[in-house]
Structure 1
Amino acid sequence: MQSSEPSRNDAPYDESYSPSCYITHNNFEFCGYNLKIAQILGANLGVSAYVWDARVNISRQSPDPGGSAWDIFRAYAFEYEQFRFHALSSSGVASTRGLALCRYFEKKNINFSGKKVIELGSGTGIVGILATLLGGDVTITDKPEVLKQIETNAQVNVPSACRHRLQIRPLTWGEDHTNFPADYDFVLGSDIVYSSVTYPALMETFRYFTSQGATIYLSSELRKRNGSPSFHDESLPQYFNCQIVDRLENKHIILYKMTKIDKSSEHDLPSNDRNLLLTEPDIGAQPTSLSLSN
């Protein structure tokens, strides 16, 4: 069950929030836990960080002999619009992709007791918070400007007896991921495959955190315009065994379970077949290609 009410007055609030901040509140129930999730929308949590990333990427990109500065600008302007659509489509409510991952944990009675878990691009923190309540030693990560939102939700939902098992830290994919240990048991990600500009850095981060055998749970909405189908169907299977474990057909949302490919046995199965064969028994053999939204 979910209820939602936009407000400024019902959640922990501090003076560091801009007066123009708009806060929405949603109540969710997963695995027997009632979660009260606030999402803070405002100048400090908008798309400015993404615009900065695009500027950095443009400055690093080598000129294309057949292109121009205007071509590069237009390419990144398109990526910005994709990000803006992504942000607006999920504003005001915890990401549907994140909720799908929480529902999967409930459906499968997953218990993270004694396991080290890291969540990438947490947003509201709902997935990492639930993993903490399910017994995990959890590190929730996102860009620095998003951490206040996560800390607010952790304060409301994680009992003091569990706080020692939860860390909230900044992490920028492809830049400072090596400041973290690589011995996690699980890597969680929802709604983090949204712009092709970020895919190389995200892939580098995935590979680092699975170098010692971690399992990834990834919940994604596939859209043709941002290149996410090819990222899931072509790029990820080059490095990971990709298993479809659940899907929401009406929203084009797919949940993947991924593990690093064992190079020693790589010759046993062609990479093009590996992604199709690895499906959970109760889901059945399911191709990764779908009728996708634009």
Structure 2
Amino acid sequence: MVPNSFIVTLSCPDRPGIVHAVSGALLEAGCNISESRQYESRETGTFFMRVTVATSAPREELEASLAPVAEAFDMKLGIFTDGERVRTLIMCSKDGRTLNDLLFQQRSGALPIEVPVIVSNHTELAPMAEFYGIPFVHLPVTSATKAEAEAKLLALVEEHGIELVVLARYMQILSDDLCRALEGRAINIHHSFLPSFKGAKPYHQAHARGVKIIGATAHYVTADLDEGPIIEQEVIRVDHSKTPEQFVQLGRDVEGRTLCRAVQWHAEHRVLLDGTRTVVFD
């Protein structure tokens, strides 16, 4: 019989005996551990662990073996089928480069996600969605229709069984209520100049100030704008010879790579929240 492969993630207050208890429960379920990573956060006193196991036992048996351990150690426990694609809704506006990066990586098999729907407040990227064969939903947003549009978005999340929402250059600020509804399962990308270069044309502002490093940050969405727990960052060096337009192009390339890595790590259940920070078992 081909064994089942599962990913087990957990976080709990740190204390002696956690690894021993978890290992014993996995042994009881007939599991062979193929990968194990762990980390103790000194700042929060929290223990984190990610384990990949192979077993002939079904998921229910694995859950039953781990349940007493989770209760005894007050664990936040996750059990996932290894390789299972995460159902992902992508939101975008008019700039399609980051969206295309995600869809290309998904189609090539590099991103373990399934995209059943794309949502946009504009219609410019509908042809790209059609090219990839993904339904496109236009949800225009104004100050008068914002609440209605967000209610429709949550209805789409429910309808399609969405596990992750990705903001791929979606140029609208989400309400606090929506951020709370999507807490821990919505990822955004922005240029790393924030908060130094806010507003329109941040790359042009950076060029005018003669910056030497540009980059991007992928983070979880929270009610505090662009202040959510950081998943991944990347920077590249630039110099005086680059034009503002070249800054934009280089920045967009970095944004695409950074967002794709963040989505991949989330989909592979490698990211665990530690207060305002993340633990990433990359």
TM-score (norm 1): 0.33
Could you say which structure has the higher helix fraction? 1
TM-score (norm 2): 0.34
Q: Say which one has the larger Rg.
A: 2
Higher relative contact order (Cα pairs below 8 Å, separated by 6+ residues):
2
